[in-house]
Copies of this chain bind each other. A is one copy, B any other.
Amino acid sequence: MAQLVPSKVFLVRGCGRHKEKLVSFEQALREAGIAPFNLVRVSSIFPPHARFVPKAAGLRHLDLGQILFVVLSENATDEPGCLISASVGAAVPDDPSHYGYLAEHSDVGKSQREISLHTEYLAAEMLATKLGHRLREPEPGRPAGSFRISNGMSLKTRSATQTAKGEKGMWTTAIAAAVLIIEA
């Protein structure tokens, strides 16, 4: 058998609410589109030559009930007003023969924008330190999510971040995931 190497990746996020914590988690997966699969958590590599696909295109590769490998971030609260977040970020080198990184991060009390930036930073930092170099601050005028590393390599980041506020008498769950597709 060939090794199990993912070749396509897509990012999703969702929020769920229910008086049962497990059902609120399920509803968050449902909003994210990945409820009908048997999820297995992995850490945290964007394989060489893999590429991002839109969620709808990615889902078409999958069979209901299948084992699905995901980098998953989750966060849950039953405290009214508590602002939770769950985020996954990716940092992928422009050179597709290098692998990239997927990071997961969750927090409390932070805005969606703050969390997204931090998760993308984590993924980019893992890639930069891997190469034994430092991450450079983005130059003015360069688009967000586009970094350089001190050795000259370029990388791009992206993320999916779900924030949600706790409500009285129920569980609120936020999830974000990078879904790894292994093809025939």
Chain A residues packing against B (C-beta within 8 Å): 1-6, 18, 20, 22-23, 26-27, 30, 35-48, 50, 61-67, 69, 99, 101, 103-105, 122, 125-126, 129-130, 180, 182-184
Contacts and interface: CB of A to CB of B under 8 A. Distances in A.
Copy number in this complex? 3
A50 B36 CA distance: 14
Contacts of A64: 45, 47-48, 99
A182 B108 CA distance: 39
Nearest to A180: B38
A66 to B, nearest CB: 4
A182 B40 CA distance: 15
Given A27-B129, A43-B38, A65 B99 contact: yes
B105 A22 contact: yes
A40 B99 CA distance: 18
A88 to B, nearest CB: 12
B63 A22 contact: no
Contacts of A6: 38, 65, 67
Nearest to A4: B67
B38 A44 contact: yes
Contacts of A46: 65
Given A3-B182, A38-B44, A67-B69, 5 more contacts: A1-B183, A22-B122, A23-B129, A42-B67, A67-B180
